[in-house]
Amino acid sequence: MMNNELKAKIEELIPQLAVVRRDLHKHPESGWTEFRTASLAIKKMRELGYTVTMGKDAVCKEAMMGVPAPEVLKRHMERAVAQGADPELVAQMEGGLTGFWADMDLGGEGPFLAVRFDMDCNDVTECADADHRPNVEGFASVNAGCMHACGHDGHTAIGLALAEVIASLRGQLKGKIRFIFQPAEEGVRGAMPMEKAGAVEGVNEIFGMHLGFQANRMGTVICGTKNFLATTKADVTFTGVPAHAGNAPEEGKNALLSAATALLNMHAIPRSGKGDTRITVGKLIGGEGRNVIPPKAVLVLETRGITSDLDAYMFGEVKRIAKAAGDMWGCGCSIDIKGGTKSGESDLEVAKVVAEEAREMGCFDKVVEEQNFGASEDYSHFMSTVQAAGGKGTYVQVGTSLRAGHHNSHFDFDEQTLANALELMSRCVWRTLAK
């Protein structure tokens, strides 16, 4: 469904997409430090006539996980301002409250539609290769250790352009639209604190999208994604007692042995007959020196499940094993949850609508109605919450060839995908909200 005005507006905005994307690519910000990105986006949304909910009203502070230390946040706030962010807006995001949503009441009786875009980058150092396009064309990251290696720079650019399309044609639409700009998707930390603050309260329908990922060639589009894995990210810390390894090892309590016992047994958790589960202890940090009984060890781990219940089963076993492994070696054990999200399924009826629009566009030669995800993305937290309240939603993956896989320092996408994604999302919103 496409009228001439909509088509013309999209075409007018296409050249801006790469400009905005490249500016964000050059100034990437990782989870809970998206001060510059959010401040630019808030300014733009207000200019377009949207009502912005931000700061403590948009992010439930108590539910935030994996927030950087205060001195790190302060440094990033200063960097954002030095790179052009509005100091007053940045001050309102103190504590890492970088998520926000922006509403427009379109008038009349109609659905309340939410569209969600993520803003954070990865903790990756961008490659220095001379033929890496961001280096060739001068938009490589200037922020050390930070890189948009997942395409969220593109997502934010698409969200802002979509907001402009909708605002300029609002007279032809009805109902209400909300743009959710989410921080800290990496580590699946951002959605839940925004949901707790009311980000999807009253929402009837929700769309989310990602560039690339499983749609890893130009011309492919995946209109509905199912089997998002529920996941829990946590650090388990064992605390023992140091002692001389030669003359008094019996006086020590060996935290590294607790961690090693826990690690092996966590990987031996019986798998459930009810569906797929995962456990990975990705990192073990422990001990102080060759001849010291190790007083401290930390396991950095995650569990996943095809349903939220299965993830809860895995994480429940993790807790039981951690405590038992601590007790076994006389060590204390504490568990710090760093992130997590629910599982999710797109609604096929919504995915079919996206597929119809995608086929009409003509630029997609492979339109997939639904596909298993087998990964986690905390958009599923928003979507599941909307569905639990009787609403519906889908998650779209818009195809692009990729220079390297997501989260790789050589990552780059074909910017033609920005235009394809903008048109597809505009058509979907239009179809949902047209008078």
Shorter beta-carbon distance to Zn ion: residue 22 or 155: 155
Which residue lies nearer to Zn ion by CB, 107 or 405? 405
Q: Cβ 339 to Zn ion, closest distance in Å?
A: 14
Q: Would you say 223 and 398 are in contact if contact means Cβ atoms under 8 Å apart?
A: no
Q: What's the rounded Cα separation, in Å, for the pair 107 and 53?
A: 19
| Stretch touching Zn ion by CB under 5 A, among 56-64, 149-157, 235-243, 424-432 | 149-157
> Considering the complex, what minimum distance in angstroms separates the CB of residue 380 from Zn ion?
13
Backbone angles phi, psi at 312, to 5 degrees: -65, -40
H-helix segments, 228-268: 255-266
What is the token pair recorded at 249? 């090892």
- Closer to Zn ion by Cβ: residue 277 or 376: 376
Query: What is the biggest distance separating any 2 CA atoms in the chain, rounded to whole angstroms?
Result: 85
Name which of 3, 353, 47, 1 is nearest 169 in CA terms.
Answer: 3
Q: Between 272 and 401, whose beta carbon lies closer to Zn ion?
A: 401
Q: Are strands 205-211 and 366-368 parallel, antiparallel or unpaired?
A: unpaired
Structure tokens at 382: 């928003």
The residue with its CB nearest to Zn ion is 150
In the chain, % helix, strand, coil (3-state, to 5) comes to: 40, 25, 35
Q: Residue 193 Cβ, how far from Zn ion at the closest point, in Å?
A: 18
Nearer to Zn ion, 307 or 397 (CB): 397
Q: Can you tell me the distance from the alpha carbon of 195 to that of 63, in angstroms, rounded to the nearest whole number?
A: 10
* Min dist. Cβ of residue 57 to Zn ion (A): 26
Whether residue 252 contacts residue 293, with contact meaning beta carbons closer than 8 Å, is answered with yes
Pseudo-torsion of CA 388, 389, 391, 395, nearest 10°?
-40
Q: Which lies closer to Zn ion via its Cβ, residue 183 or residue 295?
A: 183
CB of 393 vs Zn ion, minimal distance in Å: 18
- Report the nearest approach of Zn ion to the CB of residue 394 (Å): 17
Task: Draw the binding track, 203-242, toward Zn ion (x: CB under 5 A; -: no contact).
Answer: ----------------------------------------
Interface with Zn ion, residue 149, by CB under 5 A: no
**Count residues contacting Zn ion (CB under 5 A)?**
1
For residue 27, the minimal CB distance to Zn ion (Å) is 18
DSSP 120: -
Nearer to Zn ion, 150 or 221 (CB): 150
Of 142-150, 172-180, 199-207, 272-280: span binding Zn ion (CB under 5 A) = 142-150
Helices 416-433 and 348-361: angle between axes, nearest 10 degrees: 120
Q: Residue 81 in contact with residue 90, Cβ under 8 Å? A: yes
State the Cα–Cα distance between residues 275 and 227, nearest whole angstrom: 11
| Candidate ranges 83-91, 145-153, 279-287, 337-345; the one touching Zn ion (CB under 5 A) | 145-153
Contact 224, 296 (CB under 8 A): no
CB of 371 to Zn ion, least distance (A): 16
Site string for Zn ion, 102-141 (x = CB under 5 A): ----------------------------------------
Q: Got the DSSP string for 282-312?
A: EEEEE-S-TTB---EEEEEEEEEESSHHHHH
Contact segment (CB under 5 A) with Zn ion among 1-9, 131-139, 144-152, 259-267 equals 144-152
Distance between CA atoms of residues 28 and 120, nearest Å: 7
Distance in Å, CB of 169 to Zn ion, minimum = 29
- State which of positions 150-189 bind Zn ion (CB under 5 A): 150
143 or 204: CB nearest Zn ion? 143
Per-residue interface string for the shown chain with Zn ion, residues 340-379, x marking contact by CB under 5 A: ----------------------------------------
The pair of three-digit structure tokens given for residue 321, joined into one six-digit string: 């094993």
Residues that bind Zn ion (CB under 5 A): 150
